[in-house]
């Protein structure tokens, strides 16, 4: 009986501190997205025109230039984890890909010391500038980022592995090129702890001059930016009706997702309160 009371108290604490705020936040987001699904895009400026790259970003390590450069660097490293063993926890070691250094281990696991991480090559996103149409409407960074994440908008695969890079570009870091824009530690495989993989992806240069459709709000600097969290960018010409339909459909899916999440939290919360 005493154990049950302790569990009930723990359940109440979890429900109050964690579950209740999460439920309220998810429910509020669901309602907001549902309103967006009903009303469609409000107060959005729709701009169409050819994409023009007006300045290039430059990677400070290699000198690679592009409108968008994404450098991703990972190292396979030892990682300490706890595994439940009855009423106690045992410490085990696994290997994980990480974009930063995992510090030394506790509990005397000195043989699993991770090698230094190449700080100069840490993952980074670099952006130049781009404009739409002859009037030169500049894209703000939130819309430029849509080229990176195809699932956040409607651009498709706009990023490609950086082509025509010399094989010895990262030779000073002990890396060799295995495919366009992809480098790996010389003499190692992706199963070897300490192996480093660096990938450079850039905006596909063939998008220069292609038709772009973007929707957002103008900033004080005259750039076309995202409307709140809404990012609307296409690498083709679309009608207002098609843009509105896509916007409503995405908002509807988000509303359903957050409503389900809120209901799951509510069920868990009620379970804990009833214990």
Model pLDDT for residues 101-157, shown as the tens digit of each residue: 988 665 555 667 889 999 999 999 999 999 998 889 999 998 898 888 765 566 777
Q: Residue 246 pLDDT more than 50?
A: yes
User: Which pLDDT band holds residue 267 (cuts at 50, 70, 90)?
Assistant: confident
Who wins on pLDDT, 3 or 81?
81
- Give the other-Cβ count within 10 Å of 98's Cβ: 15
Who wins on pLDDT, 191 or 16?
191
Q: Residue 1 pLDDT more than 60?
A: no
pLDDT at residue 191, as a whole number: 94
Who wins on pLDDT, 24 or 16?
24
Q: Residue 3 pLDDT more than 60?
A: no
Q: Rounded CA gap, 241 and 16, in Å?
A: 44
pLDDT at residue 39, as a whole number: 82
Contact (Cβ atoms closer than 8 angstroms) between residue 174 and residue 44: no
Q: Name the residue among 30, 37, 36, 12 with its Cα closest to residue 263.
A: 30
- The least confident of 63-67, 71-75, 105-109 is 105-109
pTM: 0.77
User: Which pLDDT band holds residue 185 (cuts at 50, 70, 90)?
Assistant: very high
Q: Residue 206 pLDDT more than 50?
A: yes
Who wins on pLDDT, 205 or 227?
205
| Helices and strands of the chain, counted as H and E runs | 4, 15
Please calculate the CA angle 155-29-143 and round it to the nearest 5 degrees: 25
Contact (Cβ atoms closer than 8 angstroms) between residue 216 and residue 80: no
Query: Facing residues of 126 across strands?
Result: 69
pLDDT at residue 165, as a whole number: 93
User: Which pLDDT band holds residue 73 (cuts at 50, 70, 90)?
Assistant: very high
What mean pLDDT comes out for the span 53-58? 96
Helix, strand, coil in percent for the chain, rounding step 5: 35, 35, 30
Contact (Cβ atoms closer than 8 angstroms) between residue 178 and residue 184: yes
pLDDT at residue 148, as a whole number: 85
pLDDT at residue 72, as a whole number: 97
pLDDT at residue 104, as a whole number: 62
pLDDT at residue 2, as a whole number: 38
Q: Residue 174 pLDDT more than 70?
A: yes
User: Which pLDDT band holds residue 80 (cuts at 50, 70, 90)?
Assistant: confident
pLDDT at residue 150, as a whole number: 64
């Amino acid at each position: 009986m005493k154990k049950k009371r302790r569990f009930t108290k723990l359940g109440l604490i979890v429900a109050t501190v964690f579950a209740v705020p999460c439920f309220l936040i998810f429910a509020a987001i669901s309602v907001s997205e549902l309103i967006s699904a009903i009303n469609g895009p409000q107060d959005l400026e729709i701009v169409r025109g050819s994409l023009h790259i007006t300045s290039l970003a430059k990677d400070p390590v290699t000198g690679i230039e592009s409108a968008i450069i994404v450098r991703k660097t990972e190292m396979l490293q030892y990682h300490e984890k706890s595994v439940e063993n009855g009423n106690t926890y045992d410490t085990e070691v696994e290997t994980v890909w990480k974009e930063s250094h995992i510090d030394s281990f506790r509990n005397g696991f000195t043989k699993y010391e991770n090698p230094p991480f190449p700080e100069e090559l840490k993952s980074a996103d670099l952006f130049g500038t781009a404009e739409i149409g002859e009037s030169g409407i500049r894209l703000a960074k939130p819309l430029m980022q849509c080229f990176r994440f195809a699932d956040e908008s409607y651009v498709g695969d706009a990023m490609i592995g950086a082509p025509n890079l010399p094989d010895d570009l990262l030779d000073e870091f002990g890396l060799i090129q295995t495919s366009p824009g992809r480098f790996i530690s010389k003499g190692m495989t992706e199963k070897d702890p300490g192996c480093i993989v660096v990938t450079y992806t850039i905006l596909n240069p063939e998008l220069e001059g292609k038709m772009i459709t973007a929707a957002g709000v103008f900033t004080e600097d005259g750039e076309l930016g995202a409307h709140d969290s809404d990012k609307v960018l296409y690498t083709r010409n679309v009608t207002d009706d098609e843009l509105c339909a896509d916007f409503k459909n995405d908002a509807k899916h988000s509303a359903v997702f957050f409503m389900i999440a809120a209901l799951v939290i509510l069920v868990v919360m009620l379970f804990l309160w009833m214990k």
